[in-house]
Amino acid sequence: MKPSFLKATFAIIHKDLAAEFRSRELLTAMLTFSVLVILIFNFALDLNIDVRQKVTAGVLWTTFAFAGTLGLNRSMAVEKDRGCMDGLLLAPVDRSAIFFGKAISNLAFMLIVEAIVLPLYAFFYNETRIFQWEFIAVLLLGSIGYISVGTLLSAMSVQTRTREILLPILLFPITIPVLIASVLASGAIINDAGLPQIITPLNLLIVYDVIFIAVSFMFFDAIVEE
């Protein structure tokens, strides 16, 4: 009767997306927050053409990282609040299927937000250089690394007394390599820097992704057990 790994993973993703497309709570919050952050950056950094040249990648990544913690917190709180995490754990499926299910839905939410915020940013600042496939690829790689550690740590923080407050504090120091490497690589791409300036951070990003997907996958069981 045990469902296959893929079926269980897919069931969780399907469930998360169906619930989210009905309530739209998480996506609305993430999107509104992202727009607010960009608005604040506009005035805090005075994003004129000269400044934008340098900081576009940084502004976007800061926005996504902050919005990401909102989504991660919410996505795990949904499981915790009505005991649904117990429901998942009671099912005869591998714990890693639960991890991948949650991680992939979280990634989907993050990518949806990015897919809406990027055109908005381009619209606000007439910045079309962000629509290069290399830029999108870096965004995808960065999001994967960020979300895999984020899913693991949100499963951890949701079980502590301080819950939502703790997640960014746990997550940001660990994901600094993702953020810096992504900013470096995507910044180099939109500024047409040489290939070495893109490849080096990109390699580190890939190394990080591989290591932390493996580690998160390994430790998820140890975090949800009792």
Partner 1 sequence: MQQKPILLTILDILSIIAIGIATYFALVLAPTELVMGEVQRVFYFHVGTGWVALLGFIIASIAGVAYLVSKKMFWDRFGLAAVEVSAMFFLITIVLGSIWARPAWNTWWTWDVRLTSAAVTELIFIAYFMLRAGIEDPEKRARFGAIYTLLGGLSAPITFMVIRLFRSIHPVVVGNPSAEAQGGFDMTVDMRNTLFITLIAFTILFIDFIWHRVRLGGLQEKVEQLKLKTLGE
Partner 2 sequence: MIEVTKLIKRFGLKTILCGLDFQVQPGEFVALLGPNGAGKTTFLRILASLSKPSFGNVKVAGYSLPNESAQVRAKLGVVSHLPLLYPDLTAEENLQFYARMYGITNYQLQINKVLNLVGLEHRRKDLVRTFSRGMSQRLAIGRAILHEPQVILFDEPYTGLDQDASEMLDKVLKEIASHGQTVVMTSHDLIRAEALATRFDVLSRGVITASINKNDLKNQNVLDFYKQALEN
Chain residues in the site for partner 2 (CB under 8 A): 1-4, 7-8, 10-12, 14-15, 18-20, 22-23, 78, 82-84, 86-94, 225-226
Partner whose binding site includes residue 211, from partner 2, partner 1, none (CB under 5 to 8 Å by kind): partner 1
Least CB distance to partner 2 at residue 156 (A): 17
Name residues whose C-beta falls within 8 Å of residue 123's C-beta, 6 or more positions apart in sequence: none
Least CB distance to partner 1 at residue 171 (A): 9
Least CB distance to partner 1 at residue 204 (A): 5
Number of residues in the chain: 226
Q: Considering only residues 18 through 77, tell me which ones interact with partner 1, judged by CB under 8 A.
A: none
Rounded CA gap, 204 and 129, in Å? 23
Closer CB to partner 2, 4 or 128, in the complex: 4
Contact call for residue 195 and partner 1 (CB under 8 A): no
Closer CB to partner 1, 28 or 203, in the complex: 203
Contact call for residue 199 and partner 1 (CB under 8 A): no
Least CB distance to partner 2 at residue 75 (A): 12
Task: Output the six-digit token pair for 209.
Answer: 């992704």
Instruction: Pick the closest to residue 97 from 20, 4, 209 (CA basis).
Output: 4
Name residues whose C-beta falls within 8 Å of residue 201's C-beta, 6 or more positions apart in sequence: 180, 181, 182, 184, 185, 188
Is 35 in contact with 116 (CB distance < 8 Å)?
no
Is 40 in contact with 63 (CB distance < 8 Å)?
no
DSSP label at 114? H
Name residues whose C-beta falls within 8 Å of residue 117's C-beta, 6 or more positions apart in sequence: 31, 34, 35, 38, 60, 63, 64
Residue type at 203 in one-letter notation = N
Closer CB to partner 1, 31 or 188, in the complex: 188
Closer CB to partner 1, 51 or 210, in the complex: 210
Rounded CA gap, 160 and 2, in Å? 31
Residue type at 24 in one-letter notation = R
Least CB distance to partner 2 at residue 23 (A): 4
Partner whose binding site includes residue 175, from partner 1, partner 2, none (CB under 5 to 8 Å by kind): partner 1
Least CB distance to partner 1 at residue 86 (A): 16
DSSP label at 129? G
Report the interface residues with partner 1, using CB under 8 A. Answer: 149, 152-153, 156-157, 159-163, 166, 169-170, 172-177, 180-181, 184, 200-201, 204, 207-208, 211-212, 215, 219, 222-223, 226
